[in-house]
Structure 1
């Protein structure tokens, strides 16, 4: 344990400036983080967000030995950094939480890409991509997707029960049986677990199917 701790301290000492920059940036934008945590606590759909940061940190740390320095600074990283800052500012001004949070992750990505360079970043891109799963979907998209999925779940249930001979009628997302009615509510739409399943699928693909992370997510 002591040897591992010494390695971590040596790594932090050698590459202290980007870490200091990330910490300072996070402190300056602590409101973004606290609001995000509040959403994780308040909404069970995104309680998995608590695991995203430690998992991403671990995934980044396990690749640290593969990074080669000195590295040429990335111009793409600078553009990404500027774009993230712009998104963060505009999102804050418009009180658009999704844009603000995406901007926050984009800035962290830009800082890292600028420092480690393009070639090194190819080895550590996934932890930053994985952070996006901690961001709640915008309400307008969530509810737009929930209704069709509710209806789909209702239709599937209706067909299955009808097939096995259960007397049933359907009206929208309500299933009417002889003695009572069942409503397929938002929680039954499947969207609640979709983001979590996508995150797990991406993590599985990262470890077991390198190079197929994005196709796996699209499959989900």
Structure 2
């Protein structure tokens, strides 16, 4: 009996003729078709970036995703010569998601369907090895999409409560007679309202995006990356609570509405770079605390002895 030939991927380098003659033109054509098909959804996403401060970081997601791909170019093992039909499964999933989004009027589901569609196109045109290389950048694109309204409201409500309680504790540490009541902090006769806009959702999303980007960029173990991602949540909550605490303390000194308005706005602008700076310090500290060990194989050891 003759053994059946196995379906083995034929990998080529990006500079070879097949890539230039088929792979690259196919990718450009599919990209143009994707933009045309999703144009109304893309317009809705851009309007959200422009009008919603919580998603103003969306303009940076695509350039950072391309930078992430560029940083990982050396990790491409090869491009599959021919079509990988298995990638059609992801394209079919994207079609189902988009149809479901249109049926239930869920714009977010329509937007999310772009992710499996992009992944499926990469798989079909270039093979699974390229999909594995591009997967972190494709996953990073999720952060440019607005959250569903119900999820956004629930997350904002939870963040409001945590920020109120933590800020009340901080104010008491500084000797202020602070008492929390719902999402309101009373300091003597001063009523400090922690509104939905001050919930910290904007800084939470921004820090999460930056943490994911750094975790994908660094050449570290998965544990190191998980630690960096996990730090995004407590760090965002802490920075927002520090802002509310500082506002409460300064409101005791400046009691006119003009000064209080400036304090509120300036503190809001400063908390984003402050959070990014803290996240960078965490990253640097963790990298210095747990440095990767240099591994030496038996061949390297023998060659080292011979060279000596």
**Same-fold call, TM > 0.5?**
yes
Report whether the alignment pairs 1:151 with 2:167. no
Mapping 1:100-115, distance limit 5 Å:
100-115=110-125
Give CA-to-partner distance per residue, 1:87-141, whole Å, 9 cap, x none: 0121123220111001022211211122211122222211111110101111101
Asked whether the equivalents of residues 22 and 111 of structure 1 are also in contact (C-alpha less than 8 Å), the reply is no
Q: Which residue of 2 aligns with 1:217?
A: 229
Bigger radius of gyration, 1 or 2? 2
Between 56-65 and 128-137, report the one with greater CA deviation: 56-65
Q: Which residue of 2 aligns with 1:201?
A: 211
Structure 2: how far apart are the matches of 1:210 and 1:46? 29
Structure 1: how far apart are the matches of 2:21 and 2:58? 29
Structure 1: how far apart are the matches of 2:69 and 2:176? 53
Among candidates 24, 27, 31, match of residue 18 of structure 1: 27
Two-structure CA RMSD over aligned residues (Å):
2.4
2:79 alignment partner, SS class: coil
What residue ranges of structure 1 are gaps of 5+ in the alignment? 1-6
Residues 1:58 and 1:162: Cα distance change in structure 2 (over 3 Å): closer
Q: Which residue of 2 aligns with 1:184?
A: 194
Q: Which residue of 1 aligns with 2:63?
A: 54
Aligned-pair distance for 1:174?
A: 0.7
Q: TM-score, normalised by structure 1?
A: 0.85
Structure 2: how far apart are the matches of 1:175 and 1:219? 27
Structure 2: how far apart are the matches of 1:216 and 1:203? 10
Asked whether the equivalents of residues 159 and 199 of structure 2 are also in contact (C-alpha less than 8 Å), the reply is yes
Give CA-to-partner distance per residue, 1:167-215, whole Å, 9 cap, x none: 2222111111223210111232222111111111111112224453455
Structure 1: how far apart are the matches of 2:183 and 2:29? 52
2:176 alignment partner, SS class: coil
Residues paired across the two proteins, number? 212
Residues 1:203 and 1:67: Cα distance change in structure 2 (over 3 Å): same
Structure 2: how far apart are the matches of 1:195 and 1:162? 28
